Every structure is written in C-alpha cells, then in structure tokens.
Structure 1
Amino acid sequence: MKYDRVRGVDPEVADALEAEVERQRDTLAMIASENHVSEAVMEAQGSALTNKYAEGYPGARYYAGCEHADTIESLAVERAKELWGAEYVNVQPHSGSQANMGVYLAMLDPGDKILSLDLTHGGHLSHGHPANFAGQVYEVEQYEVDAETGYIDYDALREHAEEFDPDIIVSGYSAYPREVEWETIQEAADAVDAYHMADIAHITGLVAAGVHSSPVGIADFVTGSTHKTIRAGRGGIIMSDEEYADDIDSAVFPGAQGGPLMHNIAGKAVGFGEALEPEFDEYAEQTVENARALGESLSEHGFSLVSGGTDNHLVLVDLRESHPDVTGGDAEEALEDVGIVLNGNTVPGETRSAFNPSGIRAGTPALTTRGFDEEDCRYVGDLIARVIDNLGDEDVKAEVAEDVQELCDANPLYE
C-alpha cells in the first residue's frame, strides 16, 4: 500500500503512513478495541465526501448539494437497522463516547445521576469517570464486579441502584470478558424508574452476528463504536425505539457536534454491508473461539484469567498471582518489542494504578480478520507466556520476534 500522491506533496507524512502499514503488517494487533477494516472501507473513508458539509439529517440538511450524502447516510441507517434489529438508528456520532454523550444530553439534566461500572473493573471513561465530561456534569456512582469471581454481581448492582436512585444505569463494558445479562440490568433500572443505556462498543459485531446476546429491544438505548468487532467506518452509533428519535437527533446535532463526518459514514455504510454477508457471522464466531483458545493457552501456562475465561473477544489476565513482580506496563512493553501489541489493563481489586496496572488485556478481532484460527491463537498464547516468563531475556525476545514475523507472513495483511 503506497501513498504516492501524499508523497508528492508531503514526503514526511507519506513516510509515516507507509511505516504504519508496515507496522500493522508485521505485528499482531491484539488491543481488544482494534481491528483491520477492508480496503473497501478505507477507500470509502478516503472519498470525496471528506469535502462535504451535511449538517442535519437526510432530507433535512442545512446545506445544498447533499443528495449523495443523503443516499449514503440512509444506506448506513437501513443496514444498521437490519443488522441489529433496531427501530431507530443515528449513525452520526463521531465516536462511541460521543454516542454516549448524545444519550446523556437527550435524557438527562446536569446533576442527574448515573450508575455505571467502575473503570478499574472494566467500565469506560465516558460512563462517568471524573476526568471525563460525564463525571463532571453528572453525579456518578459506580458498581463493581466481584473481585473473587470476576463476574458482575447483579444482586449488588440492584441494591446499589435502590440506594442511589439513579436516572440512568449504564451497562456494556471495555474490559469484561463475560456475556452481559441485559434483562437483569433492565429489571434493576425498571425497579428504580431509571433509563438503561447499553454500551456495546466492543461487541457490536458479536451482537450483530448473534454470538453475543443483544440489548436491542431490552435497554432503552444502545450505543456503540462502529470500528471494533463490526469492522466498519470509524465512529459511533445510537439505537433506540422510535419514541426517542427526535430527542436523540437533536442531542447529536446540534447538541453534541456540528457537521457529520460523511466520509466516515460512507465507511460505516460499506462495513455494515459487509457485515450483512454470511461470511461475517463466521468471522464473529471464529473471533470468540479464538479468544477462548488464547485464554486456554495462557491458563495452561499458569496465568490467571479474570473470571476464569471468556465468552467474547477478549481475555483479561491478572498477573499478580503468577508474576507478582511484573506489571501490565512491563508486559506490554516487552511484548511490543517482539511484535505483539496489546495493552496493560487494570483488574478487579487493582492494587496498583491505571498508569501501572496489574493486568493485560488481549483481544482476537484483528487476528481473526487476518485468518487466524484456534491453533494459531493457542500458539500466540504460548509466545506471550514465553516473553513474560523470561522478561528481560533478549535472546528469548529475538526468537519470539522471529516466530511473530512468521505468523504475520503466513497471514498477510493488505497485500
């Protein structure tokens, strides 16, 4: 993949772009929120729509010349409705966080109460962390997973809701390896007359393919990212019943943002179209099987998995028992040196900090896109264990780096 036109006007940027393509080709992307989109999605995102302002919605724009933008956004919306079975869809949010902002702005007043999962237990910044707008505008309390089991304690969540009396309960997580009981959380929300927002940013593709249960039709609002397991254009999405459509539309535009990124919406439309093909269901199923194989491999090497395993696309490893002197940051750095790119992550009962956590999070969406199967992912688990077991051994790292390169060569990306 070359950037000849860019090189003609800006060789420094062209060098960095081409180097990034090589980095992706020659490393294993295992950050759970990352994936590799198709070249068709990238072409759509790099299209002439980057030139077009289209404030408003299809058929009701504030600028002329939006007929083709209307066609593409309408396709993205209709395909999303088919994928997730939603009555109403807004595809304009620039990110999953802005999708969450759209719901908050539509349904809450400043000072209203949010009950959400603690960040160190697998939640997300936009669910109410004090460093994020949500934590600064609203009153937030947070529930936790059971530190012993790694599972959400739904009874404790309901008790917390009854004590706190929130206006909205947030479910859906960024580092939770188990299937979510949407109905149980909805019951807790109903019991205190609260809204329920399910953030499926990580599992949009798994939900679309039916390999994870869906909150659509259960939760009042479903938000998500469109570039993780769904492999579409980068951005966010909001789904709900039709009764909330006007409020959400107004909260997204003009409430939270101005002109939509129409080139990204084109990428969403193309990616959603790809996800409607039967091959995508096979991909999603393989992603989950690969995560299970990866977790089994790491467990066999003595690593402790939060909750004991996984039901979805990621595994969360607590290093404190098997490698008490190794932090998640240590592991992340050593693994990146050999071409395995994942992230240090907090774990339930964290005794360090988000900047120097006790765990690592590893996902299989991008590996599966490259064609990896269970055997490959077990082998990747072996390589991860070998590096962490021999932290600081440069000979081991050199050998593992060669093994990683062989895996990349056998499963080429963007040929």
Structure 2
Amino acid sequence: MTVTHALEADVLRRQDPELADVLLGERERQATTLQLIAAENFTSPAVLAALGSPLANKYAEGYPGARHHGGCEIADVAERLAVDRAKDLFGAEHANVQAHSGSSAVLAAYAALLRPGDTVLALGLPHGGHLTHGSPANFSGRWFDFVGYGVDAESGLIDHEQVRTLARTHRPKAIVCGSIAYPRHLDHAFFREVADEVGAYLIADAAHPIGLVAGGAAPSPVPYADIVCATTHKVLRGPRGGMILCGAELAERVDRAVFPFTQGGAQMHTIAAKAVAFGEAATEAFAAYAHRVVANARALAAALTAEGLVVTTGGTDTHLITADPAPLGVDGRTARGRLAAAGLVLDCCALPHADVRGLRLGTAAVTTQGMGEREMPVVAGLLASVLRGGTEAARAREDVRELTAAFPPYPR
C-alpha cells in the first residue's frame, strides 16, 4: 500500500470504520484468492490514484471546449489527454472516452447507426455473444431484430459460411463481431467483406481483446470496423469503463449518441484514470505483459486439457479459455461454486451445441501479479483436484493462499 493510499485508508477508518472493514476485506480477498475471471484485472496504483482524485467532484456535461458547466478547464485537459492517447494507442481517427461501460459503448454505437426495428447480425448468446448482442432481457433484444450466427459444432470456430448466408438472407443494417467467450482471434477482414457485400455497418465489440490489441498480441479491428466498442478494464488494466473508436466521418454521430442521447455528465475521475491506463498501455512493458498473458493462457489451456477437462476449440489465441468440466464429474455451475469455496474465482458460461454450462477463465489478473507459464500447471492441478474431490476445499484454500502469497497484486 502506498503512503497516499495508507493515509486515505486511515481517514476512512476514522470516519466510517464499518465501510473501511468492507474495503479492507475485499483487498484481502483479492490478494489471497486466484482471480481467474476473464473480465477482471488489477489496475496500477496510478490508476487508483486518478480514480480517487478531486476530478470526482467535477460535473462536466458535454465535450472539451463545449461544456454545459463552468470550471471545466482542467477537466478538458484530462479528457483531451485520454482521447489523444487512445487515438495514438489504437491508430484511430476518433475516440470517445466517456462511455460508462462496455454496454454503454455498444448502446451508443447502435444509437449512432441504427433505428429501432433494424436488423442486426451478431454471435448468438448460446455461442458466446454478449447480452448487448440481442438478449431479450437487454435493450438490444427489445429494440432491434437480432439474427444470431454460431460456431461449428465440431471445431468450435465461427461458421463463416453461416455468417455469409445469414447476411445475404436477412440483409442486416449492422453486423457485430465480438464475443465474451470466444477464445480465438476474429477474422475482421472477413466480416468487413460480408458487411460490404450486403451494405451493412460493421461494429466490433472488442471489450475482451482490446488490451491485447494495445500490446500487439492480437489483431486490431480498427482498420476494418466502422465502430469499435471496448472496455477500459479487463486486459487493458484501466478503470472500469468503456470507450468507442471510429473514423472521422462518424465522430459527431458517435459523440452525440453518447451525450446527450444515452448519458449525462462524464465521470471525469474515471476519464483521468483511462488516460493513465492508455499511457501505461503504450509502453514496451505493457506489450511484454500482453504477450505473457497469451502465453499463460495457452499454458493453462494445455494444463487443463492434461487434467481431463475439454477445452473448447482445442486451446486459445487470447487471454480467455472456455472448458467443459463434465469429464471430471461436475457441471459448470456446480464447479464454479466448488472452486470459489477453494479460493479459485472464475465464471461459468454457456457451451455451444450443449445443454450444460462450462467454465470461463482468463489469465490477465494472475499475469499482472507476476505468475508465468511455470505456475499455470499448478493452477490447473489445484482446479482439477478440487473438482475431482481429491482435495478438500479447506486444504485447497491453503494451497491457494500459499501460491498467491508469492505474487501479491499490490505491495503490502
């Protein structure tokens, strides 16, 4: 813990000891359990400092130079820094950094390009699509007519011929490429080709791989998509939030879709933290980190396969892995609970062409902690032993504590 954070924690403990205990408890939980959720990571102390800065006090509706509130001179500098760094990092003509989340970014992209009732082609939810890709419980499924494409039953890879056939049949206004549970790189050039053939916009939902893109460990959708939506946490290792990248011709439509159409005042402390994260992601150290994330994911996928789990697509190109634990005698939902009790924190997810749920896990957070390919078989062994019933939760919990003690996420 830095001196500044120690002082802030001391202030909180004096004023609100009950909440201070909650926050310290969460700090302890993160430090003593394995964070294997593919969508989570540890931000740097600098990002945390920006999140706790006085910019949290500033109301700043609008955009730099055109705010609806006074006193935004410093806020404008912070947002311009974030925008310029995002554009440089991803090679984009325009960046909007105000989106509150990845879902907010997708909502704004739809608002910029579509009207209610338009047809959209996206990866089906049972095959790894996100809620914003047509779930009936989400605005996307209620406002637009979604058609879902899927993955091949044998390979687990996106069925490109099905995508092309559905696009020709339904003539969608937009095609979405992106997933929350697809472990392979997407062929953005293919999706661009199909979108051009049917006269559709191409929206890339890059919430998961955008950090790998920043580090040169995954192909960029920016040269191909009309709009790229992303989060600033996950592998990118920034604050929880969203961003949108696009060409200059769509800049005004995107900005107006964010504010005033879907959001109010910008969260300036979060935007400042995004600027910090973009700056960190532009370094050689981050590029090395991104490649280590992928190497660790491949090592973990191989180790899980050796332990008897069925890893979808036979491996991964990215930070995430999806796997079926059924060969170990347990379904995904039960496995998640059993593993959580042992200190291994991950998600369950739908498995394509199956009625059962599997596991979804990632290596971004453990890589930030300093773990490498040598530790991945250890993690896989702990996971498999718990699921087989060979190790009691309490014993596994101690093994996890011992492992994480060697790799603290923050200095103590």
TM-score by length of 2: 0.96
**Contact preservation (8 Å) 1:100, 1:126:** yes
Pairing partner for 1:160 from 135, 142, 166: 166
Match of residue 338 from structure 2: 334
**Contact preservation (8 Å) 2:325, 2:335:** no
Match of residue 355 from structure 1: none
Pairing partner for 2:319 from 308, 313, 316: 313
Match of residue 405 from structure 2: 409
Alignment of 1:217-232 (within 5 A): 217-232=223-238
Alignment partners' CA distance in 2, 1:28 and 1:263: 28
**Contact preservation (8 Å) 1:309, 1:315:** yes
Q: Deviations over 1:69-107 (max 9, x none)?
A: 111110101111111100010000000000001111111
Between the two proteins, the alignment pairs up a number of residues equal to: 405
Q: Secondary structure at the match of 2:371?
A: coil
Q: Deviations over 1:255-302 (max 9, x none)?
A: 000001111001100111111111000000000000000000011111
Alignment of 1:16-415 (within 5 A): 16-320=22-326, 322-323=327-328, 325-352=329-356, 358-390=357-389, 396-415=392-411
Alignment partners' CA distance in 2, 1:329 and 1:129: 20
Q: CA deviation at 1:4?
A: 2.0
Alignment partners' CA distance in 2, 1:234 and 1:396: 35
Identical-residue share of aligned pairs (%): 49
Alignment partners' CA distance in 1, 2:130 and 2:258: 20
**Structure 1: gaps spanning 5 or more residues:** 353-357
Q: CA deviation at 1:311?
A: 0.4
Alignment partners' CA distance in 1, 2:285 and 2:368: 11
**Contact preservation (8 Å) 1:233, 1:266:** no
**Contact preservation (8 Å) 2:342, 2:393:** yes
Q: Structure 1 runs of 4+ off > 4 angstroms?
A: none
Alignment partners' CA distance in 2, 1:147 and 1:175: 15
**1:351 counterpart letter in structure 2:** D
**1:278 counterpart letter in structure 2:** E
Alignment partners' CA distance in 2, 1:20 and 1:280: 26
**2:347 counterpart letter in structure 1:** N
Q: CA deviation at 1:222?
A: 0.5
Match of residue 9 from structure 1: 15
**Contact preservation (8 Å) 1:217, 1:241:** no
Q: CA deviation at 1:59?
A: 0.9
Alignment partners' CA distance in 1, 2:251 and 2:319: 31
Alignment partners' CA distance in 2, 1:86 and 1:16: 40
Q: Deviations over 1:145-185 (max 9, x none)?
A: 11221100111111011111110000111100001100101
CA-atom RMSD in angstroms: 1.1
**Contact preservation (8 Å) 2:134, 2:141:** yes
Q: CA deviation at 1:397?
A: 2.5
**Contact preservation (8 Å) 2:120, 2:173:** yes
Alignment partners' CA distance in 2, 1:349 and 1:142: 14
Alignment partners' CA distance in 2, 1:338 and 1:60: 52
TM-score by length of 1: 0.96
Q: Secondary structure at the match of 1:169?
A: strand
Alignment partners' CA distance in 1, 2:84 and 2:240: 18
Alignment partners' CA distance in 2, 1:188 and 1:319: 36
